[in-house]
Every structure is written in C-alpha cells, then in structure tokens.
Copies of this chain bind each other. A is one copy, B any other.
C-alpha cells in the first residue's frame, strides 16, 4: 500500500514516522515543498533572539534520519500542485522546475498554514518579512544580521507578534507594534489584556492600537510603515497578523472545507474523500466545548492528528475528541494562557455565559517571592458547565491552565471543578489554588 503525505513538518512527519512504526513494510512517501522538515516552528522567536545561533538548531530530526533509519521516502523541494482524487495521484513541480507525479492508495494533506500578508502596497519590499516556516525564520535572522537592524515594526499583536517583540528587544532592537483593532488582546478580558500590555510596554515596546496600516514605503535607508495618522520608521517589518490554512490544492480537488477554508475532516481525520486525510494547520477540528468545528492552528493537535492518521491508514479506528483551545505564550516575564471559550464565543454558541475575574497569588501567604495571578473563569448559567479560563501571571500559569483544559474535555460543571483536589505547597500556590478561588467565586454567580 502506498501512503503519500504532502507536507513534512509536524503533522506530516508525525504521520510518516508512526505509520512506519505501525507497519514497517508500508510504502511511505513525503513530499515537502521547502528544504526543511520536522522543525520546531514555535521555537523561532527564541532562536532569533540569539545572534549567531543557527536556525537549524530547531530541526527536531534530520531528513536523513527519516530516510535511512526509518525508511521513509522523503522528498524535499517537491511542491504538489494538483491532487486527482479519482485517479488517486498527485502532480507537482520541484524547486528545480522538474515535473513529478505520484500515485497513492491513501493520501494525507499536511500542508500547514501560511502567514496572511495584506494585499497593500509595499508588503513585497525587501525587509518586510513574515514568520511561519523555518525559511521565514532564516530570512529574518539573516536580514537582522546583514542590515544592522536597530528599529523594527511588528504589524499585528497576536502571540507570534508578541513573542517576536520580546525576541527583538532581547537583541536591543527598538520595537513598535501596530494594528487596527483598538483592543490589545481582543480575545482576552479587558483587565487581563491590560496586564499583558503593561508588561510589554514596561519592556520598552511601543504599542500603537487602532491604526490600520495603509502601505509600506522605502524611506531613508529603511522602511516606513504608513497609517492614516501615523508613520513608523523601521529597518525591518515583521508581518504577524495571523495565518490561513494552505488548502488551495484541496479546494481545487473538490474536497470540502469549512471555517477559514480549512479542510473539513471528521473525527478520524478523513476528508470528504474516502482515501484522503488532512491534519495539522490546514485542517479543521472539533471543539470539545461546543462540539462544533473550529480552526485553531497549534502544534500539539498537528502532531496528534498526524499520529491518528497513521493509525487509521494502518487499519486502526482512531478518533480524536478534538481541541479545547488551550494555548499559552510567554511575553517577557509574563505567562499568558487560555483554554475553552471566551464569553463572546460562548454566547455565539448558544450558552448563557457568566464570568469572574479574580486576583490571587502564585505562592502561599507569607511565602517570599509571590507574584500576582489573574484568572478569568467562564461558566454557563444554563448547564452549570465550565466553559473557559484565561490566566496571566509571572509564574504558575503555563501548566495550571491544564487543569481547566482537562475539565473542559469532560464538560465538567463549575461546581464539580471547584471540588477538585489540586496541589498545594507554599512555594507553589495558596492553599486554595487560584483556579479554585475563581471557581468558588464563579459559583456564586451561577
């Protein structure tokens, strides 16, 4: 049986490796359009922060290991252009211009996502760079080194933009961030969002909210990011306004797509075609809170989906529960985490959300070094269910959010969650964990 995979990063290589482990005799071919496979894209801001550190340090497993030790036919520089579902084959072209075609019995589309770049003047100028693939990271790093970058503008204030702001500040680069939305983290409750903004500003980042970029122009020796009432000079411009799924091939092949044109898959990761799977940032997923489809491109679910596809290709019946929308990022000294729905999302899905915001401590009463933890907890008045959590703090946030995430997977009520036996010791928590304090407060409003 021929198992063909388009895309050689998280979902694709996870699927390839696991399929070979499951069935050593399986014929597994991976077609990757870039020259890079199996790297930690999320690590790029931290790598870029360190001058001289090779971006290739982020490669998790070398292509040759996949080829020689695992027996995977891994072809880089192979861009698939067309999928023929009826003929069960794909066609494309290599980066040296050579055409190729491959047949398959089972196909996995793991083409990932691509950064959104607005169709505005100047976004194609040298020094205007996005960050998604390893090659993006390589280019940003090379540009900073070769152009003696002293000033950067980041367009967008999502987690990649924020991680990049820290990365560039670490290199003593002046950073300005700009976006049209007047709210800093629009998905986060105002109070917590302000805490994050305070931290970013305290680290010397200039925040310009409510400014839509109109164009980028060459200026002086660098670039000018032009808004209606604001112009920002820069040696480099990072475009970080989000990503979109690479689903063009799938759409052309007639596969169903859903939210944001991500490829629709069922709980087995199967697309609308019997022999085609999709996994990772190009595909959608079920949300465990709403039971509906969602598109949240993150690394864990890409790896997990890759494994599930491999199991199913090899005759298994692996079904994925879906995602809870759990994420965390670090920005300077702050940990920022969320899981589940925001009150607005909850409303949109027919819940009757009620929420609390509490302020607690990272350590016990009288324990030295304690810092503030803010928790926003959201419940559903109708069913009593916990719907979501958001947290901000200097310590004890990144892993604490997982307790709420597990609760969401089982549709736990706030009342039940408030009864959970969470760990306590003075260096790590107050007796009542901040999540429990929030749950106790939330209960009173439900």
Contact = CB atoms under 8 A, between A and B. Distances in A.
Interface string A280-317: 00000000100000000011110110000000000000
A421 B403 contact: no
A205 interface: no
Contact of A335 (B320, B337, B428): B428
Interface residues of A, number: 67
Nearest to A426: B43
Contact of A364 (B40, B400, B402): B40
Interface stretch (A71-79, A119-127, A406-414): A406-414
A421 B326 contact: yes
Interface stretch (A25-33, A186-194, A245-253, A429-437): A429-437
A17 interface: no
Contacts of A401: 423
B406 A46 contact: no
Contact of A46 (B398, B422, B426): B426
Given A300-B432, A399-B400, A40 B426 contact: yes
Nearest to A427: B330
Contacts of A427: 46, 330, 398
A200 to B, nearest CB: 16
A398 B326 contact: no
B425 A42 contact: yes
A8 interface: no
A278 to B, nearest CB: 18
Contacts of A405: 403, 420-423
Contact of A421 (B46, B323, B420, B422): B323
Contact of A288 (B10, B320, B322, B421): B421
A54 B328 CA distance: 39
A351 interface: no
Contacts of A299: 424, 431
Contacts of A431: 10, 40, 42, 299-300, 303
Contacts of A47: 366
A117 interface: no
Given A416-B321, A432-B300, A399 B421 contact: no
A7 interface: no
Copies of this chain per assembly: 2
Contacts of A400: 399, 402
A423 to B, nearest CB: 4
A58 interface: yes
B409 A419 contact: yes
A423 B326 contact: yes
B428 A40 contact: no
B366 A43 contact: yes
A60 interface: yes
Nearest to A433: B402
A35 interface: no
A437 to B, nearest CB: 11
A417 interface: yes
Interface in A20-76: 40, 42-43, 46-47, 57-58, 60
A358 B177 CA distance: 42
A46 B367 contact: yes
Contacts of A60: 365
A339 B402 CA distance: 15
A327 to B, nearest CB: 6
A143 interface: no
A325 interface: yes
Interface of A: 10, 40, 42-43, 46-47, 57-58, 60, 288, 298-301, 303-304, 320-330, 335, 337, 339, 364-368, 396, 398-403, 405-410, 412, 416-417, 419-429, 431-433, 435-436
6 contacts: A40-B426, A47-B366, A323-B421, A399-B402, A402-B423, A406-B412
State the 10 A-B residue pairs at the shortest beta-carbon distance, nearest first.
A398-B428, A402-B403, A328-B423, A324-B421, A399-B399, A406-B406, A399-B400, A326-B421, A321-B419, A402-B422
